[in-house]
Amino acid sequence: MALISCTECGQQISDKAAVCPRCGSPASTSSNPLGDAVIQLEKALFDEVQKFSTRIRESASSARRPSPPSPDIPDQIRKLAKLKDDGIISSEEFEAKKTELLGKL
């Protein structure tokens, strides 16, 4: 008795087994272990391509979703002015951030 890899799930099974106990796939009766290995590799690559394709679809779907609306820029500037008036940020920091926000309009 020798162990072979199931061509469907890759589990090690007896070469005398009629089916794989894990997945139920018929055991290979091939005397070509290289051919069986190629089939396993092709199946593994196919599975990876399917996973990658799913990730691409998910990314494309999320990219199509509209971005949430940006907070009201004048309101942000008012809040920054209050921070400046309260002495939490400097006039220079206020002006830099205000310029940045106005550039987004």
Beta strands in the chain (DSSP E): 3-5, 12-14
pLDDT at residue 68 tops 70: no
Average pLDDT over the chain, rounded to an integer: 84
Range of the domain at 95: 73-103
Whether the predicted pLDDT of 4 surpasses 90: no
Residues 93 and 54 reside in one and the same domain: no
Do 78 and 59 fall within a single domain?
A: no
Task: Summarize pLDDT for 36-56 with one digit per residue, the tens.
Answer: 788 888 988 999 999 999 999
Cα–Cα distance between 28 and 38 in angstroms, integer? 13
The pLDDT value recorded for residue 84 is 94
Judge if 49 and 16 occupy the same domain.
Answer: yes
Residue 58 CA to residue 35 CA, distance in Å, equals 35
Tally of domains in the chain: 2
Q: Between 96 and 24, whose confidence is greater?
A: 96
**Is pTM beyond 0.85 here?**
no
CB 80 within 8 A of CB 96: no
Torsion of CA 50, 55, 58, 61, to 10 degrees: -90
Residues 48 and 96 in one domain: no
**Statement to judge: residues 59 and 77 lie in one domain:** no
| Domain match, 19 and 59 both | yes
Do 10 and 55 lie in a common domain? yes
